[in-house]
Structure 1
Amino acid sequence: MNDDPSKRRLGRGLAALIGEMDQPMSEMASRPSVNADRKVAIDLVVRNPRNPRKHFAEEDLQDLASSIRQHGIVQPVVVRSVADGRFEIIAGERRWRAAQLAGLNEIPVIIREVDDRTALELAIVENVQRADLNPVEEALGYEQLIAEHGYTQNDLGEVIGKSRSHVANSLRLLKLPDLVRDMLFAGTLSAGHARALIPTSDPLGLARTIVAKGMSVRDAERLAQNNIKAQSNPVLETKSAEKDPDTLALERTLSDSLGLSVTVNHKGTGGGKLMISYKSLEQLEEICRLLERR
């Protein structure tokens, strides 16, 4: 991992960062950029347009709004100052939206003066750590940090407290067609279903079959594997060429561990082939590093 100060700061963990942001000025007096808790007009608070979280369940917002009407906002919204006397949300957009539904004119805020990069990092990390993102939003958030700030998959794994393979598998979902991603976004497909579709020739058609038949992830993997075999050998389209469940489970475990497509082909003699597919030199170098370590 490189020595970028921002990454070292995030590597301390979200809990520490958000914990600091929620502390009043009396406990953070040594930090000149920290302002005390205060209330601001709700129409002066705006969402962060680059927040990876786009979907907020209406029912959940209504429940929170009902609670806010009775008890107020228990945890302040964390914001930063922007132009025209307004404040942009760093953490707490859900509370802000519910407060609007509850009819509040003012909300309590904690003001932290951070730059665009740090605001984006915190928005992504906060949502990922609190499991507020669906798989597509999570993947887009990772992609944004990689594209805009040069994070590697290892960097992101350390920052968000997840494995590199988790990050890699999340990013693979972005290879799917938009209509399949929409199904994943809506929750009609799980991330496990969607990952099985990535190497297939007809992910949309297979996705519709999976949803229509209510297939399990394992069933979806069998369906995808048959499609891949038929794609490489058209003769197999008319033959039953399913792998046994144990082999499919092994392929899934290895693929999840490496974050790459893994195929296991057994022969009748007890031997066989293990194939790992990579699409970049970075992925190849990672495979070599893992093998050399062992």
Structure 2
Amino acid sequence: MSDSKLAKRGLGRGLSALMADLDLDGPAEAKPVKDRTMVPIEQITANPDQPRRHFDNGALLELADSLRQRGVLQPLIVRKHPQDDSLFQIVAGERRWRAAQMAQLHELPVIIRELSDTEVLEVAIIENIQRADLNAIEEAASFRQLMDRFGHTQEKLAEALNKSRSHIANLLRLLSLPDQIQDYVKDGKLTAGHARALITADNPLALARRVIDNTLSVRETEDLVRKQGKATTDSPNAKASRKANKDADTRALEADLSAQLKMSVTIDHGSNGGGTVTIGYRDLEELDRLCQLLGR
């Protein structure tokens, strides 16, 4: 079956089957794998389509020290090299392979699987998601790849990766931010919480620079975005523009609701037939009265 057909229908062997393979990369105390075999390290090659391009050298040196002392406890997942039957191509476990070379090991335990190019890419993406040092943007981009290229839904990913659907949805929203802000998150200048707060801002890039320059907390960033939105909404020009664009029926309905509630009511129609109703209150006493009215 062609890779394009596999991609269209989601996954040839099923996401759960590939996740079972990746469970082999678990902790050292995992039970021994029966179908592992030892392969000379020089017969193992990296996957040129590996999505992860950066491997922290310090972390690799630490892993190399561990491998010298304890050996490679969990096998790599490999397949026969597409162009050379005498070689094996890494499907999952490139980090251990690199560290093993640093440790000057001569052979490595592997699990040989028959996988298409499409499945190899999918396994590589899933393996990267499972890594602890992935930043929020990298993780979100990996989710997006799995959804766009392989047709997985948020619900399916959440179940297979043991993550909440809200976690996946919140990370995917970060990809709507300007590239510069995404770079700030990758570089550690902003956290995912800061970035989420900036999603609804009118000028997120300017606010992001303010947040970084003043080392604002996530809560302070949320307050900053809220104040900016209120200032924009309450500006005389914005009010005049909204009022001018409303028809007489909408303005009459606003007046009727305002009179009944004894609070200011604003109705804004959206382009898709929906809209929002905004009720303004002067103090907490009015808010309490509104809650009582709605509770009835």
Give the secondary-structure state (helix, strand or coil) at the position aligned to 2:68.
Answer: helix
Rate the CA distance shift 1:73–1:263 in 2: closer, same or farther, 3 A.
Answer: farther
User: Partner of 1:191 in structure 2?
Assistant: 192
Segments of 5+ residues of structure 2 without an aligned counterpart are 1-8, 26-31, 238-275, 292-296
Identity %: 42
User: Partner of 2:39 in structure 1?
Assistant: 39
User: Partner of 2:15 in structure 1?
Assistant: 10
User: Normalising to structure 2: TM-score of the pair?
Assistant: 0.67
- 1:184 CA displacement: 0.8
- 1:233 CA displacement: 4.0
- 1:141 CA displacement: 0.9
User: Partner of 1:82 in structure 2?
Assistant: 81
RMSD, aligned α-carbons: 3.3
For the residues of structure 2 that align with 1:208 and 1:154, how far apart are their CA atoms? Answer: 35
For the residues of structure 2 that align with 1:61 and 1:217, how far apart are their CA atoms? Answer: 33
Cα deviation, 1:101-160, whole Å, max 9, x if unaligned, reads: 334454332211122333233333333334342111111111111111112222222222
Rate the CA distance shift 1:139–1:5 in 2: closer, same or farther, 3 A.
Answer: closer
The one-letter amino acid paired with 1:99 is: A
User: Is the CA contact 2:78–2:92 (under 8 Å) kept in the aligned structure 1?
Assistant: yes
User: Partner of 2:159 in structure 1?
Assistant: 158
Segments of 5+ residues of structure 1 without an aligned counterpart are 26-35, 237-261, 273-294
For the residues of structure 1 that align with 2:281 and 2:17, how far apart are their CA atoms? Answer: 48
User: Is the CA contact 2:45–2:89 (under 8 Å) kept in the aligned structure 1?
Assistant: yes
Cα deviation, 1:236-289, whole Å, max 9, x if unaligned, reads: 9xxxxxxxxxxxxxxxxxxxxxxxxx99976242238xxxxxxxxxxxxxxxxx
User: Is the CA contact 1:48–1:89 (under 8 Å) kept in the aligned structure 2?
Assistant: no
For the residues of structure 2 that align with 1:44 and 1:138, how far apart are their CA atoms? Answer: 27
Instruction: Find 1:24's aligned residue among 16, 34, 50.
Output: 34
Cα deviation, 1:185-220, whole Å, max 9, x if unaligned, reads: 122211111111112132222222222222211111
Greater Cα offset, 103-112 or 92-101: 103-112
User: Is the CA contact 1:68–1:99 (under 8 Å) kept in the aligned structure 2?
Assistant: yes
Give the secondary-structure state (helix, strand or coil) at the position aligned to 1:114.
Answer: coil
1:1-294 correspondence to structure 2 within 5 Å: 6=11, 9-11=14-16, 14=19, 16-19=20-23, 23-25=33-35, 36-42=36-42, 44-47=44-47, 49-51=49-51, 53-85=52-84, 86-234=87-235, 267-268=281-282, 269-270=286-287, 271=290
User: Is the CA contact 1:76–1:109 (under 8 Å) kept in the aligned structure 2?
Assistant: yes
For the residues of structure 1 that align with 2:82 and 2:13, how far apart are their CA atoms? Answer: 29
The one-letter amino acid paired with 1:224 is: V
Q: How many residues align?
A: 233
Greater Cα offset, 165-174 or 86-95: 86-95
Rate the CA distance shift 1:132–1:124 in 2: closer, same or farther, 3 A.
Answer: farther
User: Partner of 1:32 in structure 2?
Assistant: none
- 1:182 CA displacement: 1.3
For the residues of structure 2 that align with 1:266 and 1:42, how far apart are their CA atoms? Answer: 71
The one-letter amino acid paired with 1:160 is: L
Larger of the two Rg values belongs to structure: 2
Rate the CA distance shift 1:74–1:150 in 2: closer, same or farther, 3 A.
Answer: same
The one-letter amino acid paired with 1:125 is: I
Give the secondary-structure state (helix, strand or coil) at the position aligned to 2:223.
Answer: helix
